[in-house]
């Protein structure tokens, strides 16, 4: 993976639309991003970390659901 990713590249990685990634950024739910001029970029390490966090959160939800 390159060091920085565009919104479209993040969307391809996550198999979703760029609009969804933009929405996540708008509501503060997606991977960390920053602006360079008009372009929004994501550090690939931040995207990878966010994916790991999402997987861990989902695993935690499944474990809680199975206990209930």
CA atoms within 13 A on the CB side of 16: 12
User: Domain locations in the chain?
Assistant: 4-67
Does the pLDDT of residue 63 top 90, yes or no?
no
Q: What is the pLDDT of residue 24?
A: 98
Residue 3 contacts by C-beta under 8 Å, 6 or more apart in sequence? 43, 44
Summarize pLDDT for 20-58 with one digit per residue, the tens: 999 999 999 999 999 999 999 999 999 999 999 999 999
**What does the alpha-carbon distance between residue 39 and residue 55 come to, in Å, rounded to a whole number?**
28
**What does the alpha-carbon distance between residue 48 and residue 33 come to, in Å, rounded to a whole number?**
13
Reported as a pLDDT band with limits 50, 70 and 90, residue 2 is: low
Q: For the packed helices 7-14 and 44-67, what is the interaxial angle rounded to 10 degrees?
A: 40
Q: Does domain 4-67 have CATH number 1.10.10?
A: yes
Reported as a pLDDT band with limits 50, 70 and 90, residue 61 is: confident
**Strand ranges in 1-68 using DSSP code E only, listed in sequence order:** 4-6, 34-36, 39-43
pTM: 0.82
């Amino acid at each position: 993976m390159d060091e920085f990713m565009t919104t479209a590249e993040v969307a391809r990685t996550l198999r979703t639309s760029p609009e969804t990634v933009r929405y996540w950024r708008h509501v503060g739910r997606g991977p960390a991003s920053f602006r360079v001029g008009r372009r929004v970029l994501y550090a690939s390490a931040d995207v990878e970390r966010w994916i790991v966090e999402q997987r861990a959160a989902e695993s935690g939800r499944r474990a809680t659901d199975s206990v209930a």
